[in-house]
């Protein structure tokens, strides 16, 4: 439990850092941040009260920095991430709400898939040196690591959706079916739209797990307890999974944060390519319209999600490694 508490403290610090970055970025730029924010917009529709409201949401009040920061944090704690300047007066939270669900669906599915496929392939590559996975899949993965995610998505979209017509060209739901999760047709539509983006993420993303797992496996296989397990005459399956993989997966979990970060970045861009109505597409629109409140809101929310996912991975670690429990 001590271990989890320590990790929790660490994530609180990380969250604080993200908030600090968010808070200081606008203040580091030349000129009045709100003026910058509004630079590209027709401000005639905004009343002076609305502008003040914006100021307050970001803590741009006439007060010393610590007080500004306090205002900003207390707003965040109340769930107030400010209002969009491009779609004024829609709240950032409301814009994100729907998008976040689609992103969670896509990234979550991709995470589970890339993790399982990558880890299994990594186990196999290390276990059978010179086997199929080691000889062909591993170099393929290495090459995929050097190709931009979104470009893989572009090619997949071009080949499988546009040329072959196997998959839809974009969006998340089938048109003409009302959103109803109890309706199998609707769910099928969602799955159909999800399939290609997730597959491209899998193709482009399994490698980071595979490489990590394979390197850990190679290191673990050289350990004395593996030699002893072989000498004990245990069945190969037991040595491979209970002795080698069980130990090799532990460092993979500690590298979880990094891999998740990459995957998330990839999935944001994949959304852009597939016009998938998630956070990535929202972010793109915000970038194009220079909608700073939305951008910053997205950054913060995504960071918190990643921290949460990491915390879950840490809890899993405790289940798998008895040494952390004492």
Partner 1 sequence: MTRSEAILEAVSLRKVFHTGGVFSRKEVIAADDVSLALRPRHAVALVGQSGSGKSTVIRMLAKLYDPTAGAILYEGEDVTTKRKRRDIFDYRSKVQMIFQDPFGSLNSTQKIDYHLRRPLRLHGKVKNARDERLRIGELLERVSLTPVDEFAKKYPHQLSGGQRQRVAIARALAIEPRVILADEPVSMLDVSIRISILNLLIKLRDEENIAFLFVTHDLSSARYFSDEILIMHKGKIVERGVSAEVIENPQDDYTRLLLSSIADPSRVF
Partner 2 sequence: MTVSQPAAPPKRSPGLWASLPDWVATLLSNPRAMAGLLILLALVLVAVFAPQIAPYQPDRIVARRDLPPSSEHVLGTTSLGQDVFSQMVFGTRISLAVGFATGTLVVLIAMTIGITSGLVGGRVDNVVSMIVNVVLVIPQLPLIIVIASWARNTGPITIILVLAATGWAFGARVLRAQALALRNSEHITSARLIGEPIWRIVFFEMLPSMISLVAAAWIGAVIFAILSQAALEFIGLGDPAVVSWGTILYWAQNNTALISGRWWTFVPPGLAIATVGLALTLINYSIDEITNPRLRRIRIPKDAMRKPESRPREEPSEQGGLVQIRGLNVDYWTATGPVRAADNVSFDIRPNEVFGLAGESGCGKSTVAYAISRLHFPPAIISGGRIFVDGQDVLAIPDKQLNKFRWDAVSMVFQSAMNSLNPVITIGEQFVDVIQAHRDMDRKAALERGRELLEMVELDPDLIDSYPHQLSGGMRQRVVIAIALALNPKLLIMDEPTTALDVVVERQILQRVKVLQREFGFSILFITHDLSLLIEFSDRIGIMYAGELVEVAPAKALYTDPQHPYTRLLMNAFPSIHDDRTGRYGIEGTPPDLRTPPTGCRFHPRCDVAIAGLCEVVVPPVVSTGDRLARCHLLSEEYAERAVK
Outline where the chain has alpha helix (H): 2-28, 33-38, 48-57, 65-77, 92-127, 132, 138-144, 149-156, 184-221, 224-231, 236-238, 246-254, 256-273, 279-288, 292-320
If one asks whether residue 1 binds partner 1 (CB under 8 A), the answer comes out as: no
| 74-82, 85-93, 186-194, 268-276 -> range binding partner 2 (CB under 8 A) | 268-276
Cβ neighbors of 29 (< 8 A, separation 6 or more) are 36
Three-class SS of residue 83?
strand
If one asks whether residue 128 binds partner 1 (CB under 8 A), the answer comes out as: no
Under rule CB under 8 A, which residues in 17-46 are in contact with partner 2?
Answer: 17-18, 21-22, 25-26, 28-29, 36
Indicate which of partner 1, partner 2, none lies near residue 320 (CB less than 5 to 8 Å, by partner kind). Answer: partner 2
Name the minimum Å distance from CB 13 to partner 1.
11
Dihedral, CA of residue 145, residue 147, residue 152 and residue 153, to nearest 10: 90
| 68-76, 143-151, 176-184, 192-200 -> range binding partner 2 (CB under 8 A) | 143-151
Fill in the per-residue mask, 6 to 45: x = in contact with partner 1 (CB under 8 A), - = not in contact: x--x------------------------------------
Q: Of residues 2, 44, 163, 175, which one binds partner 1 by CB under 8 A?
A: 2
Indicate which of partner 2, partner 1, none lies near residue 6 (CB less than 5 to 8 Å, by partner kind). Answer: partner 1
- For residue 64, the 8-state DSSP code is -
CA 219 to chain centroid, in Å, comes to 28
If one asks whether residue 106 binds partner 2 (CB under 8 A), the answer comes out as: no
CA 95 to chain centroid, in Å, comes to 18
Which residues on adjacent β-strands are paired with residue 91? 83
Indicate the residue among 2 and 45 with the shorter CB distance to partner 1: 2
């Amino acid at each position: 439990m001590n271990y989890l508490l320590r990790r929790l403290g660490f994530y609180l610090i990380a969250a604080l850092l993200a908030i600090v970055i968010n808070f200081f970025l606008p203040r580091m730029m030349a000129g009045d941040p709100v003026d910058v924010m509004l630079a590209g917009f027709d401000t005639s529709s905004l009343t002076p009260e609305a502008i003040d409201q914006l100021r307050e949401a970001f803590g741009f009040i006439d007060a010393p920095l610590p007080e500004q920061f306090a205002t900003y944090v207390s707003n965040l704690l109340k769930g107030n991430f400010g209002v969009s300047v491009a779609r004024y007066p829609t709240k950032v939270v409301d814009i994100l709400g729907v998008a976040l669900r689609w992103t969670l669906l896509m990234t979550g599915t991709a995470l589970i898939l890339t993790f399982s496929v990558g880890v299994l392939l990594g186990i196999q590559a290390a276990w059978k040196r010179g086997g199929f996975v080691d000889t062909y899949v591993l170099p393929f993965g290495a090459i995929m690591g050097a190709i931009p995610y979104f470009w893989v998505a572009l090619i997949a979209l071009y080949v499988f959706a546009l040329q072959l017509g196997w998959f839809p060209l974009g969006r998340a739901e089938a048109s003409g079916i009302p959103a109803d999760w109890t309706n199998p047709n609707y769910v099928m539509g969602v799955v159909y739209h999800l399939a290609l983006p997730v597959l491209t993420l899998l193709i482009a993303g399994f490698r980071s797990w595979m490489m990590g797992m394979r390197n850990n496996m190679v290191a673990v296989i050289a350990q004395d307890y593996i030699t002893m397990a072989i000498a004990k005459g245990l069945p190969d399956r037991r040595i491979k999974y209970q002795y080698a993989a069980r130990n090799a997966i532990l460092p993979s979990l500690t590298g979880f944060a990094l891999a998740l970060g990459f995957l998330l970045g990839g999935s944001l861009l994949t959304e852009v390519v597939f016009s998938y109505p998630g956070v990535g597409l929202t972010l793109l629109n915000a970038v194009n319209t220079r909608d700073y409140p939305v951008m910053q809101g997205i950054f913060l929310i995504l960071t918190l999600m990643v921290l949460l996912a990491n915390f879950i991975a840490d809890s899993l670690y405790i289940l798998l490694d008895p040494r952390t429990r004492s």
